[in-house]
């Protein structure tokens, strides 16, 4: 298996797990959130359009996302496989992905759905910090850096994402339940969905995922 979707609420650990899986298997990691954040900091037209949705914890319009993903999926580096993280997030995006995947002959092998309760997510996200340099993700409670507020990999000062304040987290969870959770049924109906408990250490969860995908 080499083409996966990681599904789960914001803060379920899907970004962390996508990175672990990508490092262990060599399969490319494609995070629409990371791509959008790079577009915002680069001040591109797409970044300018996406910024206000992101800061409000709302979803960027489907067509913008689908156009962006289509370009990425057509790049040769992804021929060996990909882990989609943060996409699709709505039923129209999942339908759009099916169309792109059939045009490019890239069938999805499995959809990993990481399950975590909302209150646990709020606790996790308010303590999340990221490295602006290399993208490494830490948690001040569950996975702190060795030196306070410094990235273990490159020593950069860690930052908090603008959308990780409690109010924005609650709106993102609401958006998730309304718009993204219906994808569970969408992929269950296609016999692609596997539920993974999202509690435990990063390694425990990575082990569960690897056992499912045979990586």
Annotated catalytic residues are: 14, 89, 128, 161, 172
Nearer to ligand AMP, 117 or 207 (CB): 117
Among candidates 53, 61, 8, 32, which has minimal Cα distance to 180? 8
Residue 62 CB, nearest approach to ligand AMP (Å): 7
Residue 206 CB, nearest approach to ligand AMP (Å): 19
Residue nearest to ligand AMP (CB): 33
Residue 142 CB, nearest approach to ligand AMP (Å): 18
- In whole angstroms, give the CA distance from residue 118 to residue 100: 32
In the complex, the residues that contact ligand AMP under the rule CB under 6 A are: 10, 32-33, 36, 53-54, 57-60, 65, 86-87, 89, 93, 163, 172
Nearer to ligand AMP, 141 or 162 (CB): 162
Nearer to ligand AMP, 69 or 193 (CB): 69
Nearer to ligand AMP, 64 or 140 (CB): 64
Burial class (CB in 10 A: 0-12, 13-18, 19+), 159: middle
Phi, psi of 194 (to 5 degrees): -125, 125
Residue 100 CB, nearest approach to ligand AMP (Å): 13
Query: Which pair of structure tokens corresponds to residue 210?
Result: 């690897």
Residue 211 CB, nearest approach to ligand AMP (Å): 25
C-alpha separations of 81 from 7, 61, 182 in Å: 17, 26, 25
Among candidates 210, 192, 174, which has minimal Cα distance to 113? 192
Nearer to ligand AMP, 147 or 196 (CB): 196
């Amino acid at each position: 298996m080499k083409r996966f979707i990681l599904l789960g609420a914001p803060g379920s650990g899907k970004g962390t797990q996508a990175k672990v899986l990508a490092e262990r298997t060599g399969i490319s990691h494609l995070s629409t959130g990371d791509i959008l954040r790079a577009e915002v900091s680069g001040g591109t037209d797409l970044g300018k359009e996406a910024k206000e949705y992101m800061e409000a914890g709302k979803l960027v319009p489907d067509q913008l996302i689908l156009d962006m993903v289509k370009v990425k999926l057509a790049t040769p580096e992804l021929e060996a496989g990909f882990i989609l993280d943060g996409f699709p997030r709505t039923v129209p995006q999942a339908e759009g992905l099916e169309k792109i995947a059939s045009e490019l002959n890239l069938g999805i092998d499995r959809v990993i759905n990481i399950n975590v309760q909302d209150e646990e997510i709020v606790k996790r996200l308010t303590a999340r910090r990221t490295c602006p340099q290399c993208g490494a993700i830490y948690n001040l409670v569950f996975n702190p850096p060795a030196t306070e507020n410094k990235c273990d990999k490159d020593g950069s000062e860690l930052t908090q994402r603008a959308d990780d304040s409690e109010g924005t987290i609650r709106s993102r969870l609401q958006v998730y339940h309304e718009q993204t959770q219906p994808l569970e049924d969408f992929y269950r109906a296609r016999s692609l969905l596997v539920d993974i408990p999202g509690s435990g250490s990063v390694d425990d969860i990575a082990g569960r995922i690897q056992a499912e995908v045979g990586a």
